[in-house]
Amino acid sequence: FHSQIPQPPALPFIGNVTYLDRELPIQGFALLAQQYGEIYLLDILGRKVIVLNTQELANEVSNDAKFRKGVIGSLDEVRYISGDGLFTAREDEPNWAIAHRLLMPAFNTMAVRDMMEDMRDICSQLLLKWERFGPDHVIDPSDDLTRVALDTIALCSMSYRLNSFYTENQPPFAASMTEFLRECYIRSTRPSLVQALMTGTNAKWESDAKFMTDVATRILNERKEKPIEKKDLLNTMLYSKDPKTGQGLSDDTIVKNLLTFLIAGHETSSGLMSFMTYYLIKNPEIMRKLQNEIDEVLGGQPVQYQDLSKMPYLTAVIRETLRLSPTAPMRMVQPLEDTYLANGKYFVKAGASLLVNTWVYHKDPKIWGEDAQEFHPERMLNGKFEALPPQAWQPFGFGIRGCIGRPFAWQEVSLVMASIVQKFDLSFVDPTYNLELKQALTVKPKDLFIRATPRNQAP
Ligand code: MNH
């Protein structure tokens, strides 16, 4: 009466590696879900991964009493720079609990509200750039929104100006980050013997890691030499003590968490804003509705903190973007004890690697209907969001290891996107553009180019 978890045909030694899509992992996983359904097993170089593709299964493993976060595969590679920092810590590492207790209050809604002016500072740099370049300029939105997200998290968390808007090419920190994270994924799919022989690739990966660690270390040292009054995250980490143990954080742990914020805090947000830009241009009637709401609430004035709670359509558009294109597309969990999934149907061992495929299960037709693949913010309005089955929408992960930056990201994305849509009419450079994807650890639109026309000058 138990069922075997289906597995695609495997080769000796390498197992199912050939089914993975190196360039676009989520695509390989999604194709397998179409073929194998709610659950399947992959053997990746002897490491078994069980992939979960429905709301029902995602909900079942979203349970802190029975499952813990799995720091395996690419996340394990990211540990090379962020170690036992919040995002990549293993469950039993004491620095996780200390940093968690110390930083939770620093990331709550009230604390994030005080970051509004720093967020606006960076946001205005983007608006000014698009305005000055004018309607003929070809914009790579992922590029500029990455500048926004990276500079915002650096300014808000460590009062540090990366000044990404003052460099022509991708800022060096962002370039290192993107390549480092991409390589982390590929490393997790390579046999260790092959990996050891790729000396050039390894040297590049290590030098990207060193560059980022050096930046974070420099920021910490500068702060220690020249202390400031401001209550930013860096000062919290330097001077607060854990209420439970009385312990503070060591310099090493602070550097790992600074890197954690920079890693976890920029690609996800910038990807979300890029996807939202795409969906708004692709759906002009939704763009118009959003512009109307923004004009009505703001009356031509800049966005203020208290406006953000008065724009339900904006909230719905962000939620729907995160449903269709969750920029953190998957997460791993491990059962604490031997257990069964799907009402006793599938047996899984303690410590097994379970992959919650958010990208796929967010489009579960059982929950969203036959048009699950389409963009309809109306699904998120008028109490429908609140009435969803549990964990049907889970772009920020779950429970104790869920996203600590959620209020931060929400405020940033609301401010930036409301400001862009208030100021500009947006269009594709290629009117026939359809969404394509690229992926490092997170997912973003690929080859999306747009134009921004200031609205008061529109013909
Ligand atoms: Mn964030 C964990 C998604 C923005 C800092 N984040 C997670 C997880 C998801 C996630 C999913 C859980 C991962 C896992 O289970 O392995 N995060 C997002 C998304 C956005 C985002 C979709 C933006 C949109 N995150 C941010 C921002 C910051 C941040 C901004 C920092 C300022 N996130 C974190 C940290 C963790 C995390 C830190 C790890 C928390 C922990 O395990 O204690």
Encode pLDDT of 174-184 as tens digits.
889 889 988 99
Question: E strand or H helix at 290, and its extent?
Answer: helix 284-298
Ligand 1 near 397 CB (within 6 A): yes
pLDDT above 90 for 14: no
Residues sharing a CB contact under 8 Å with residue 342, sequence separation 6 or more, in sequence order: 38, 39, 56, 57, 60
* Residue of 396, 400, 412, 442 to test ligand 1 pocket, by largest number of atoms within 8 Å of CB: 396
Rounded Cα distance, 24 and 27, in Å: 6
pLDDT above 80 for 457: no
Ligand 1 near 102 CB (within 6 A): no
Separation in Å, CA 296 to CA 2, 305, 314 = 57, 16, 12
Q: Whose CA is nearest to atom 33 of ligand 1?
A: 403
- How confident is residue 458, by pLDDT bands cut at 50, 70 and 90? very low
Q: Which atom of ligand 1 is nearest to the CA of 99?
A: 43
Tokens of 393: 């929408």
Of 152, 253, 268, 327, the catalytic one is 268
Ligand 1 near 442 CB (within 6 A): no
CA angle 329-335-338, nearest 5°?
145
Q: What pLDDT shows up at residue 459?
A: 43
Rounded Cα distance, 97 and 348, in Å: 28
Ligand 1 near 68 CB (within 6 A): no
* Residue 305 main-chain phi, psi, to 5 deg: -50, -45
Q: Which atom of ligand 1 is nearest to the CA of 75?
A: 16
**Secondary structure class of 274 (helix, strand, coil):** helix
Nearest alpha-carbon partner for 167 in 199, 133, 144: 144
Q: What pLDDT shows up at residue 223?
A: 96
Q: How far is the CA of 107 from the centre of ligand 1 (A)?
A: 12
Rounded Cα distance, 14 and 43, in Å: 8
Of 211, 396, 428, 449, the catalytic one is 396
Q: Own/partner pairs for 191-197, CB < 8 Å, 24+ apart?
A: 191/13, 191/14, 191/45
pLDDT tens string 182-241: 899 889 888 888 899 999 999 999 999 999 999 999 999 999 999 999 889 999 999 999
pLDDT above 90 for 128: yes
What is the arithmetic mean of pLDDT over 156-166?
Answer: 91
Q: Which atom of ligand 1 is nearest to the CA of 332?
A: 16
* Residue of 403, 417, 441 to test ligand 1 pocket, by largest number of atoms within 8 Å of CB: 403
Q: How far is the CA of 149 from the centre of ligand 1 (A)?
A: 14
Q: Whose CA is nearest to atom 21 of ligand 1?
A: 268
Nearest alpha-carbon partner for 151 in 181, 113, 125: 125
Ligand 1 near 87 CB (within 6 A): yes
Ligand 1 near 182 CB (within 6 A): no
Q: What pLDDT shows up at residue 21?
A: 85
Ligand 1 near 377 CB (within 6 A): no
- Residues 44 and 346 sit within 8 Å (Cβ to Cβ): no
- Residues 404 and 103 sit within 8 Å (Cβ to Cβ): yes
Residues sharing a CB contact under 8 Å with residue 437, sequence separation 6 or more, in sequence order: 24, 26, 27, 443, 444, 445, 446
**Secondary structure class of 450 (helix, strand, coil):** strand
The verdict on whether 403 is a catalytic residue reads yes
Q: Whose CA is nearest to atom 25 of ligand 1?
A: 405
pLDDT tens string 387-424: 999 999 999 999 999 999 999 999 999 999 999 999 99
The alpha carbon torsion through 88, 223, 269, 306 (nearest 10 deg) reads 130
CA angle 430-434-439, nearest 5°?
110
Ligand 1 near 275 CB (within 6 A): no
Q: What pLDDT shows up at residue 320?
A: 98
Rounded Cα distance, 234 and 171, in Å: 22
Nearest alpha-carbon partner for 324 in 250, 221, 393: 393
Tokens of 296: 């009505």
Q: Greatest CA span in the chain, whole angstroms?
A: 68
The verdict on whether 396 is a catalytic residue reads yes
**Secondary structure class of 68 (helix, strand, coil):** strand
Of 180, 403, 408, 442, the catalytic one is 403
pLDDT above 60 for 159: yes
pLDDT tens string 349-361: 999 999 999 999 9
Q: Which atom of ligand 1 is nearest to the CA of 266?
A: 30
The verdict on whether 156 is a catalytic residue reads no
Residue 403 labeled ligand binder: yes
Rounded Cα distance, 324 and 274, in Å: 13
Separation in Å, CA 102 to CA 105, 131, 373, 403 = 7, 41, 40, 15
Q: Which of 166-175, 300-309, 333-342 is predicted least confidently?
A: 166-175
Nearest alpha-carbon partner for 119 in 341, 330, 343, 410: 410
Please state the separation of Cα 380 from the chain's center in Å: 20
Residues sharing a CB contact under 8 Å with residue 113, sequence separation 6 or more, in sequence order: 305, 411
- Token pair 């854990």 in the structure block, residue: 242
Ligand 1 near 331 CB (within 6 A): yes
289 versus 110: the higher-pLDDT residue is 289
Q: What sign results for the dihedral spanned by CA atoms 215, 96, 235, 415?
A: positive
- Residues 52 and 40 sit within 8 Å (Cβ to Cβ): no
Tokens of 246: 């009385």
> Considering the entire predicted model, what is its pTM?
0.96
pLDDT above 90 for 8: yes
Cβ neighbours of 454 (radius 10 Å): 14
The ipTM value here is 0.99
- Residues 362 and 397 sit within 8 Å (Cβ to Cβ): no
CA angle 396-412-158, nearest 5°?
95
Q: What pLDDT shows up at residue 20?
A: 85
* Residue 16 main-chain phi, psi, to 5 deg: -105, 15
